[in-house]
Every structure is written in C-alpha cells, then in structure tokens.
Structure 1
Amino acid sequence: MTDSIRLFDSHCHIDFSHFDDDRDAMFERMAAVGVEGCVVVGVDFGHIDSLRELAQARDNVWFSVGIHPNHEVEVEPTIEQLCELADHPRCVAIGETGMDFFRHHVDPDIQENRFRTHIRAAKMLNKPVIVHNRDADEASIQILRDEQISKCGGIMHCFSADMATADAAIELGMHISFSGNVTFKRNEELREVAANVPAELLLVETDSPYLAPMPFRGKRNEPAFVKQVAECIAEVRGRPLSELAAQTTANTRRIFNISN
C-alpha cells in the first residue's frame, strides 16, 4: 500500500461478473495505490449472497442492501425484508435507492414508494441511505426532506447535479460522493460543485465497473481508479492529494460506522 495515501472507495459493484476473471488481482491493484477499503453496493436482492460472501472473505470489504430505482421486480421490498437482509455485521447501509428519470424502466410512483420504504428501513436500523439521483433533483430532495433523512443520514452517490441541489442535500445533512464523471473534460460545473462541498461531507467513489475516470474513460472501472477521482478533486480544491484522501477516507468510515 502507498504509505502517504489512504483512500476508500465508498461505492462500487465488484461483485458483478465483470470482475470474475481477475477479482484477486483487482484487490492487489487497490492495495498498490493506497485504497484501504470499499463498500460494495446492493442493487437487487439476488446479489445478497454474493455480497455477504465477498464481505466475509475480505476484511476490507463492506456491503449494503437495496434495490436500484430502475430495477424491475415482481414484488416490491418491504421494510421488514430490508431490515432482515441488512442484519449482518458487515452491512453498513441501505441502498442504493432513489429516483431516476433518465431511464424509465420503473414507473416514477413505484420508484418513490420504493425510495421511501428504503429510508424508513434505514431509520429503523440507524444505517445511512445510499441515494441514486439522476435527472430527478427536485423529487429526490423533496422525498429526503419528507422522510427526515437526517435521522439516519445518507450519501448522494455519483453526484451529477448542480450546486443548488448539493446545497439542498447538504442542508439535510447528506454527504456528497463524486465518481469518475467529475474528471470528464466537459464537466467543469461538476468540478465547481466538488470544489465547494464542505470537506467533512465529501466522499469519493468509482461506481465500478461503470464511469471510469480519465484517462481510463471507456474501460472497465475498478476501485484502484478512485485515486484519479481524488486527484481531480484535490486539484480543484487546491489541496494535497494526501490530505484529500485522508479526509474522504475518514468521512467514509464515519458515515458508514466502519472502525476497523
């Protein structure tokens, strides 16, 4: 592991089949650049076993339980189901959940009810909520406000909205997490948001295997590439990478209640 840099990938999907051929080597590459841990995020109930197995096999992996807003299911999750599935010592969050108006695989009313169910389960468990928001800023913020998200806290994952949306989420006590898209050349406005999020609420992630940062754009993403995300944000904030990495790692451990 790199001595001077401590990074944490706050959101990835390394249980996916994209990593079946080189998962062990992927963990080695993580360690080589100073990534000391990652949260593997649930998108449906079918992956629960693989998430648990991965977290139990590795002392630097934690996981979450949830159904993605655009994942089609025959029966909607209940608060009781979410609480039961999240009853594991290495489950640190509920989600990802939220609202997505970019793709319409799931009706917005169903997405909203699902989102509220996840938040209510999270409050019962006192675990943070991992929020997916795409082209649904107003709806997402309103639901977070209605459901009193501050009682359990949460993360606006792979943030891609404007500063007004960030400010609204911050006012509710939400953390803001940035992924590889913050490095894309056209995303100057997003980098401006990253420059202004309060340091104590800032996280970095990969969302791997998706959204690989520059200069890997178009390739499969992986947790080691969170370093490029951190480098970009450190530059726009005018801070050393080691400082930015230490801050975001401390923030990740705090919001997810990860002590070891």
Structure 2
Amino acid sequence: MYLVAIKTKEGEEELAALSSGTVVIIIGQSVVLAYASQSSWTVETTQGLVKGSIAPDGDYYTFLGLKYGESIIDKNRFMSQVEIHKQELIIESKTIQSLTEQLSIKDQQGRLNNLEILGIPSKKGENLIGILKNIATKVGFDLIPADIDYIHRVRRFGSNSKSHVDNQLPPNIIVRFTQRKRKNDMLAAARVRRGLTSADAGVDGPPTSIFINDHLTPQNKILYRRTRELGKEKGYKYIWINNCQIFVRKSDTCKAVLIQNDSDLSKIK
C-alpha cells in the first residue's frame, strides 16, 4: 500500500491510498483514476495519463498546465483525516434522523383529534356521518353534530401491497373531532364494546368485523407492528396505544415503557 499526496497548481492537496495493481480512489479536479505498481504510479486524467516513480523525495510532474506532485505521507495524518470525515458523516446522519423524527412527531400531533375506522364496506352514495352515528349509538356514546369536524375515506396504508387480500379491503374512514376529549371518550367507549361489526354500523350485507383506533402515521403503524411482533416474542403481556403513543408492559408488576422510535425497541427485553 502506497500513501500518496497529489497537488494541483493552486496548492490543493488530495490524499490517495494506492494499492499495487488496484484502482483505489478518485482524486483531483480532473483526475479520474489512480493506479500503483511495485515501483511506479499512474494518474489518469480526463486529458490523458501522468506517470511517476515511487520516490520519497517528492518529485513533481507537470501535465497540460496542471502540476501534480508525489510524496510519501504520514499514515497517521491520512488516517486522522479519514476519522474526521467519518465523524462528520456520523453527525450528519444523526441530524437527518433527528429532523425526520421531529417531522414524524408533528405529523402525529396533527392526528390527535382523529379516529380511524377499519372494516366498513364501501358503497357508492354512502352516508359516512350516518354510519358514525350508528356506531356511536351502539357503543353508548352521545355523538352530536358539533363533535365532527370532517369525515372521509382514505386509502389504507400498505394498499400498494401485491397481496390480493390487502387490495380487497375497503378504504378506512377517518373522523376528525373538534375536541380531543370527545374523540378520546368515543374511543374509550368503543374499546369497552368489543366485537363490533358492519351490521352495528347499519351497513347492509354480510357482517364484517370493524375496528376503531387512534389515527397513527404510517411510520408509527410500522413501529406499532414491530413492537407487537417483538413484544410477543419476548413474552410481553400488554402492548397498547394511548393518545397515539405506543406502550408495552411485560407483566402486571412491571412499569409501562413508552416506544417512540426504532431505537426504543431495544427496551423490549
């Protein structure tokens, strides 16, 4: 392995590690390839080739107006610059991760007043408000017109799946409440009344199971699925969502653990 410094006429220096007979690094503003043999090195530019011998005296070579020089450099100097670039990449990666998590949190906060209803068959000309009222009556929640900001269907997350079963499932219904407390009250009532079906919503046809949940972001839906899979594998007794946050608890005597991102999955032991 040869450690070589190649300099331009502006005094800029590019570091290259040249292995015998191997293309190792792209260097310089017009240098595209670098090769090394037992006793010489070759730099291939966009205009042609520059050749020189492996020598500790730092001989310089001129080619097409650009000056390239070679000198054996300190390995520690080379490795320290590699380490600096490595640390910069780590910092940039952490910054990107932090910004992504902040955007995800804001996205989830924008859904705190929402309920998501799954399993209601879709029909042309359907009355979604009427369906919601029927469900509210069935679970014992006193729904009033002022509770509803809007209601509509959305394509299910993962509906691009190649699975025939996934593609046959109806779009989910999203209900946005004007007050978060009213949304939480209806969700609590629905959780007490288990076994809801489309017949309870006043929808004709064979009854199908329906489910009412917090409206999670796609990222948190994936996180919740992973949490359930890992929690089941590790023998956790409780895995649930409260106010759009994911919690786990291994047993009745253990404390609840909040799972906010993939890193938190390491807490499930």
Fold shared by both chains (TM-score > 0.5): no
* Structure showing the higher helix proportion among its residues: 1
**TM-score, L = length of structure 1:** 0.18
* Structure showing the higher strand proportion among its residues: 2
State the structure with more CA Rg. 2
**TM-score, L = length of structure 2:** 0.17
The answer to which structure, 1 or 2, has the higher relative contact order (CA under 8 A, 6+ apart) is 1
